[in-house]
């Protein structure tokens, strides 16, 4: 099946600056996909180019394998939550959604149903008749999220959707995104990497307008190949011989402060739960407290590592039998 969104060698320049410098990206259908990158990396530009708000200078964009965005063909199927755009302040929330829905070609019944649904999602049902100017910043943000899901589009592009939301609303939106319609593809550009890690099926690292790395979240964070134990007290000697015996094929890393022990296992068939059980048993038997166990590594550290902007703070442990650091 063709990708929901595919960018090939897309170039976009602003004067002499290249915002996108041959960006390649492929977002599989039916996934939640994260775009990660520093400020000015090109994430917002990539989303705007996708829906034709910005004209690309070179390269190709294809939506659902049907070619670039065409309002006649893709209206209502592709939506965007733009980053820094303001809704018309005098319009009422419901009227605005009605107008947008009509432009998408939704009939009256379907549109009414969809408006009720998205306003319920973002907790704005009681403010549906309120002019936008009377809504708080967070409420306006929720309304912009609501418009992006109007009419159940096949591809939803969200640029920093959680910025400005209070923790409760952000959590609610995350839950809604996870429960989304199966046929829906959602692309989220965000600086909140923890959020992307918990939410997304895959992600792409973009820097200086280029793709640095793209993969599934499992592969990016090595969830199926790595378990980290957070120890208490930090820095006490570890029973490496026993650990090695418990998992002969694994390699071990301990953070410089001794607070983290990471197990890397290369056997594809090994299950994280099994690794966890074996290591935990040894550690607890030796009176080493385990505060937290994390599967895989943080997306943040993988991003730093992939983009070479953050030095790794871990050192490999010597083989079993040697002194621990």
Partner 1 sequence: MNPTLRNTWTVTLHELTDSIRSRRAIVLLILYALNAVVATLIFVKVLHEMENQFEKAVGVAQAEKAGGTTTAMWKNRNFRELISHLVGNKETAEKLLETPPLALFFGWLSFFYTPLLVMLMSASRISEEVWSGSVRFMMFRTSRLSWCVGKYAGQALQLLVALLLSGLAAWITGWCRMAFFDPGANAAAIAVFSLKAWIYGIAFLGLAMGVSQTIASPNVATAVGFVVMILFSVVSMLAEWVSRQPWQEILNALDLLVPGGHKMDLWLPDAMHAGVATVFLLALGAAYMLAGYVRFSRRNL
Under the rule (CB under 8 A), what is the footprint of partner 1?
48, 51-55, 69, 71-72, 74-76, 78-80, 82, 84-88, 90-92, 95, 99-100, 102-105, 131, 144, 147
Counting Cβ atoms within 10 Å, is residue 212 exposed (0-12), middle (13-18) or buried (19+)?
A: middle
**Residue 74 or residue 264: which is nearer to partner 1 going by CB?**
74
CB of 267 to partner 1, least distance (A): 47
**Residue 47 or residue 220: which is nearer to partner 1 going by CB?**
47
Strand partners, 263: 227, 252
CB of 3 to partner 1, least distance (A): 18
**Residue 28 or residue 52: which is nearer to partner 1 going by CB?**
52
**Residue 52 or residue 258: which is nearer to partner 1 going by CB?**
52
Rounded to an integer, what distance in angstroms lies between the CA atom of residue 258 and that of residue 263?
Answer: 14
**Cβ-proximal residues to 269 (8 Å cutoff; 6+ apart), any chain:** none
Identify whether the C-beta of residue 264 lies closer than 8 Å to the C-beta of residue 299: no
21 phi and psi angles, rounded to 5 deg: -125, 65
Answer whether the bond into residue 233 is a cis peptide, omega within 30°: yes
Residue 265: count of CB within 10 angstroms of its CB: 20
**Residue 34 or residue 76: which is nearer to partner 1 going by CB?**
76
**Residue 161 or residue 296: which is nearer to partner 1 going by CB?**
161
In the 8-state DSSP scheme, what is residue 92?
Answer: B
In the 8-state DSSP scheme, what is residue 170?
Answer: H
> Taking each helix axis from N to C terminus, what angle separates 93-103 and 137-148, rounded to the nearest 10 degrees?
20
CB of 169 to partner 1, least distance (A): 20
CB of 78 to partner 1, least distance (A): 6
CB of 320 to partner 1, least distance (A): 58
Rounded to an integer, what distance in angstroms lies between the CA atom of residue 306 and that of residue 304?
Answer: 6
Rounded to an integer, what distance in angstroms lies between the CA atom of residue 98 and that of residue 90?
Answer: 15
The distance between the two most distant Cα atoms of the chain, rounded to a whole number of Å, is 74
**Residue 30 or residue 82: which is nearer to partner 1 going by CB?**
82
**Residue 92 or residue 213: which is nearer to partner 1 going by CB?**
92
CB of 144 to partner 1, least distance (A): 8
Q: Specify the residue for token string 């402060």.
A: 257
CB of 2 to partner 1, least distance (A): 20
CB of 207 to partner 1, least distance (A): 22
């Amino acid at each position: 099946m063709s990708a929901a969104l595919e960018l090939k060698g897309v170039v976009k320049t602003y004067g002499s600056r290249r915002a996108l410098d041959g960006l390649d990206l492929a977002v599989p259908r039916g996934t939640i996909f994260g775009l990660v990158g520093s400020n000015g990396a090109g994430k917002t530009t990539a989303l705007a180019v996708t829906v034709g708000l910005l004209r690309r200078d070179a390269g190709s964009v294809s939506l659902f394998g049907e070619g670039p965005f065409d309002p006649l063909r893709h209206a209502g199927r592709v939506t965007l939550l733009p980053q820094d755009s303001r809704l018309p302040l005098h319009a009422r929330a419901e009227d605005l959604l009605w107008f947008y829905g009509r432009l998408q070609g939704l009939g009256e019944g379907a549109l009414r149903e969809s408006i009720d649904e998205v306003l319920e999602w973002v907790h704005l049902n009681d403010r549906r008749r309120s002019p936008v100017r009377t809504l708080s910043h967070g409420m306006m943000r929720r309304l912009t999220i609501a418009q992006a899901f109007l009419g159940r589009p096949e591809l939803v592009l969200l640029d920093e959707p959680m910025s400005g939301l209070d923790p409760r609303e952000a959590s609610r939106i995350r839950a809604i995104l996870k429960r989304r319609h199966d046929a829906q593809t959602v692309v989220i550009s965000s600086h909140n990497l923890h959020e992307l890690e918990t939410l997304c099926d895959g992600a792409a690292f973009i820097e200086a307008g280029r793709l640095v790395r793209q993969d599934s979240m499992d592969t990016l964070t090595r969830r199926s190949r790595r378990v980290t134990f957070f120890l208490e007290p930090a820095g006490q000697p570890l029973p490496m011989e026993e650990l090695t015996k418990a998992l002969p094929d694994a390699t071990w890393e301990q953070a410089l402060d001794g607070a983290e022990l990471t197990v890397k296992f290369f056997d594809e068939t090994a299950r994280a739960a099994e690794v966890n059980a074996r290591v935990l048993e040894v550690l607890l038997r030796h009176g080493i407290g385990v505060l937290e166990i994390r599967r895989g590594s943080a997306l943040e550290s993988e991003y730093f590592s992939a983009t070479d902007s953050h030095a790794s703070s871990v050192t490999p442990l010597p083989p079993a039998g040697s002194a621990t650091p």
